[in-house]
Amino acid sequence: MSNRRLSIFVDESGILTEPAARSRFYILTLLCHDQSFDVNAFAEALDSDMASIGIANLCFHAGPVIQANDQFEFLTWDLRRKIFTRMLGFARRIEFRYHCIVVDKKYANSPEQVVSRLYGQLDAFVSVRKDMFATFDSVKVYYDCGQKPITNLLHDFFRWLESCPS
């Protein structure tokens, strides 16, 4: 019997403490990947493809590539476009699902309210898909711990999920 595993990769867009006038929306994206779909060959092909344009060991984040920030600051538009195109091709070849949770900070008066609304939407997302989640033997969540309240939210929520009977 195989052990079905689901990986959920989480990233956020926005800063909880910034006022809505400066950063109106807070977005939490969950990328869900069934580990039975092996991406190793696709990742190796991507590495080879990136090497062919002179890029090795790249940590890809769309925003900095598009906006020429961080390590992409001195790359030409043409090279950044090639990087983005190759990453898009990779994403089209692999199997995954994603869901974005969006909170309009115009209607949340504090970072705590934003987190509370994120929790509620995360709960609704999982509740609607509980039959799908039940098909997996384990769920592993990956987050870069970028913002402590989000780290706590994910830890608390998925600990709750693990303790719920199927």
Residue 23 has pLDDT above 90, yes or no: no
Residue 6 has pLDDT above 50, yes or no: yes
Do 103 and 147 share a domain, yes or no? yes
Domain of 19: which CATH number? Answer: 3.30.420
Residue 38 has pLDDT above 60, yes or no: yes
Count: domains in the chain: 2
Q: Which domain holds residue 50?
A: 38-94
User: How many residues are listed for the chain in this entry?
Assistant: 166
Do 31 and 103 share a domain, yes or no? yes
Backbone φ, ψ for residue 150 (5° rounding): -75, -40
Residues forming beta bridges with residue 88, ordered by sequence position:
none
In the prediction, which pLDDT does 52 show?
A: 93
Do 101 and 88 share a domain, yes or no? no
In the prediction, which pLDDT does 79 show?
A: 93
Residue 162 has pLDDT above 70, yes or no: no
Do 65 and 21 share a domain, yes or no? no
Residue 84 near residue 67 (C-beta atoms within 8 A): no
Residue 61 has pLDDT above 80, yes or no: no
Residue 1 has pLDDT above 60, yes or no: no
Do 128 and 159 share a domain, yes or no? yes
Q: How far is CA 138 from CA 18, 33, 48, 62, 117, in A?
A: 35, 12, 32, 29, 26
DSSP letters, 119-154, are: HHHHHHHHHHTHHHHTT-SEEEEEE---SHHHHHHH
Pick the last residue of a domain from 69, 94, 119: 94
Question: Both tokens of residue 13?
Answer: 């867009």
